[in-house]
Amino acid sequence: NTSRPVVLLTTPLLPSLQVAVERDFTTVPLWQAADRAAVLALHASDVRAIVTTSFVGADANLIAALPNLEIITSFGVGYDSIDIAAAKARGVRVTNTPGVLCEGVADCALALLLAVSHRICEADRFVRAGRWPQGTFGLGRSPAGKTCGIVGMGGIGRAVAKRAEAFGMRIAYHGPRRKDDVAYPYYADLVALAAVSDYLVLALPGGADTVHTVNAAVLAALGPQGVLINVARGSVVDEVALVQALQDGMIAGAGLDVFEDEPDVPAALLGMDNVVLLPHIGSATEETRNAMGELTFANLRAWADGAPLLTEVL
């Protein structure tokens, strides 16, 4: 049916989202194309929408190749992989999936915090290696009474704060500005926040403005008992400085769901027992991903119906 709007898919989608998009739209699966340029050239003038993800995004070249593009709807809250300036310059609207993943990503942040502190993954390896009969496992550390510094007090940061409070932690935060509706102590200076924090949890957006926000100075301030948790973007941490800080004992440990060059993880981290490494699974539960899929589709449907978009990136 050629009267249905043509939607370009940059990557395989969550199956339920894929089914919904294919039911209502004509799809061009760019990710399946052996010759991307040829597929783009063939469909360029027909494509009016892109469905993409935070991981794949949409760059300026792709936007420029599609003269009748009206909307980019992305599965994910982060839009650092989408060239927003290029989209805006063309009047192309962009939507993301804020809100629905905050609880799930915050769960993952606390899972990392507890796993590093209580040495859960290390202890699991100890049991699997058959070492328990030869001796007891060492001690971890308790988060209660410690300070959880949160970088980025948006939806995810707030969900982290709520959970960390339930574990008996003090909360403090840093971001570009103090939030009027947040009572926790605010630190305009990230080094100052790191200095009072036992755990530093990163929940800030990626993109050009936040590259290497966590650098050697921040890690030094976090200190030898400090733990870094990153569920944001790899780009917000100077990964070379982080590896160095872990090797030198400048910080105690790290829980990382994201990396600078995914899926590549610095080899030096693989042998460290005080580090927990995840393959970018913060939003990867059935409940969260289904909600993200529904919101992604609702935005696409609203655009096709000429209705207000639900969650437009402005």
Active site residues: 233, 262, 280
Are 4 and 49 in contact, with CB atoms under 8 Å apart? Answer: no
Among 27, 230, 283, 311, binds ligand 8YV (CB under 6 A): 283
CB 107 within 8 A of CB 164: no
Could you tell me which stretch among 42-50, 52-60, 111-119, 171-179 binds ligand 8YV (CB under 6 A)?
52-60
Q: Is 280 in the site for ligand 8YV (CB under 6 A)?
A: yes
If the CB atoms of residues 17 and 220 are measured against ligand 8YV, the closer one turns out to be 17
85-124: contacts with ligand 8YV (CB under 6 A): 101
Sign of the Cα torsion 80, 81, 86, 88 reads negative
Number of amino acids touching ligand 8YV (CB under 6 A): 10
Residue with smaller CB distance to ligand 8YV, 76 or 226: 76
Residue placing its CB nearer to ligand 8YV in the complex, 101 or 193: 101
The reply to whether 299 sits near ligand 8YV by the rule CB under 6 A is: no
| Spatial CA neighbour of 51 closest among 62, 41, 42 | 62
Which residues in 60-89 contact ligand 8YV (CB under 6 A)?
Answer: 75-78
Residues 83, 106 contacting (CB under 8 angstroms)? no
User: Of all helices (H) and strands (E), which one includes residue 172?
Assistant: strand 170-174
* Least distance to ligand 8YV, CB of residue 45, Å: 28
Q: How far is the CB of 258 from ligand 8YV (least distance, A)?
A: 7
Task: Select from 20-28, 48-56, 169-177, 213-221 the region that touches ligand 8YV (CB under 6 A).
Answer: 48-56
DSSP 128-154: HTT-GGG---------TTSEEEEE--S
Strand order in the sheet with 93-95: 26-29, 6-9, 47-53, 71-75, 93-95
Tell me how far apart the 2 most distant CA atoms of the chain are, in Å.
Answer: 70
List residues binding ligand 8YV (CB under 6 A). Answer: 53-55, 75-78, 101, 280, 283
